[in-house]
Amino acid sequence: MRIEYDMTDLGKLNYFLGLEFIETASGSFLHQQRFINEVLKRFNMIECNSTTIPVIANLKLTNQSEEENVDASLYKQIIRSLRYICNSRPDINYGVGLLSRFMNEPKQSHMSVAKHVLRYLKGTIDYGLLFAKATTKLESTLEVWSDSNWSGDQVDRRSTFGYFLKYVGAPISWCSKKQNMVALSSCEAEYIAFAETACQCLWLEALLIDLKLKYKKPVQMMVDNKFAISLSKNPVFHGRSKHISTKFHFLRDLVNHGRMKLVHYSTEVQVVDIFTKPLRLNRFEKLREMLNVKSLCSLV
């Protein structure tokens, strides 16, 4: 890097724009404890009671016109702060994405859920992302998960999809987002999610090549829908799926040319569920562990 660019060595990274880094025996630990404290103080939540999950299971948020409006500026400030915390806390991505859908006219129920996320951060303030030290087993492996929650939005019935990528065992990219179109079946929702994830994989592959980093080919995407896997492989399904936008069929080309492989993965260990729906405590904690989101106390 010094040959190519003028650089100054400032030593080991420990703080940058609200992101804090700690070297542990297990690897590098990224957290935002200081920033979260500032956010809790700013919104008068520093003395609040903590909770164990960011979003209550089976929560349904809608635009209830009869509900009382809340201060939209305050609501937007909370959401902006939470979105920045997502840089080190992918476990709150779904909740923050859900709340972001109601920024134009937030209601009292939306503000209550936003404060619930802050209460969760209060109880897990020392949590962050662990970038574990590489092992021979994980060397040059790009792991990919993708999933979708069909028709999960209560307002426009669009599906929420998510993906999660690890390189050498470390989380490098994740997403929780509402799809741009209404899917007519769970298979279609999942297939569209896989196609979106494939786009991210292609970009990351190009980045790894530019950085001269090796990775195993083809990239394997762990998914839990066998019908979507069949759709990506078998052109006979085209007659039943012609309503799916043709731009998503490039996933089939990637599979047929050996650039990507879709592998069936059990729903019980589908980590991306944490990005697509609210979960109960036991399952949420299990998937949070799979995200490499850990407590600093457990590492030192």
pLDDT of residue 31: 92
pTM value is: 0.85
Smallest CA-to-CA distance from 264 within 231, 218, 230, 226 is with 226
- Condensed to tens digits (0 to 9), the pLDDT of residues 149-193 reads 887 777 778 888 999 998 888 899 999 988 888 887 777 888 888
For residue range 219-265, list pLDDT tens digits in order.
Answer: 888 888 777 777 776 655 555 555 566 666 777 788 888 888 888 87
Tell me: do 109 and 152 sit in the same domain.
Answer: no
Same domain, 158 and 204: yes
Residues 177 and 261 in one domain: yes
- Counting the structural domains of the chain, the total is 2
Q: Is 117 in the same domain as 193? A: no
Domain span at 49:
32-125
CB 118 within 8 A of CB 78: yes
270 C-beta neighbours (distance < 10 Å), count: 21
Q: Report d(CA 72, CA 6) in Å as an integer.
A: 45
Which of 125, 144, 178 is the last residue before a domain boundary? 125
At which residue do the structure tokens 């008068």 appear? 44
pLDDT at 121: 94
Alpha helices in the chain (DSSP H): 33-42, 72-85, 93-100, 108-123, 186-210, 226-233, 238-241, 250-256, 273-276, 281-290
Q: How far apart are CA 74 and CA 224, in angstroms?
A: 39
Same domain? 89 vs 108:
yes
What percent of the chain clears pLDDT 70, i.e. is strictly above it?
Answer: 92
Q: Domain end: 125, 159, 179, which one?
A: 125
Instruction: Give yes or no for a contact between 200 and 163, defined as CB atoms under 8 angstroms apart.
Output: yes
Q: Are residues 180 and 243 in the same domain?
A: yes
Q: Are residues 91 and 176 in the same domain?
A: no
- Single out the residue in 81, 104, 125 at which a domain terminates: 125
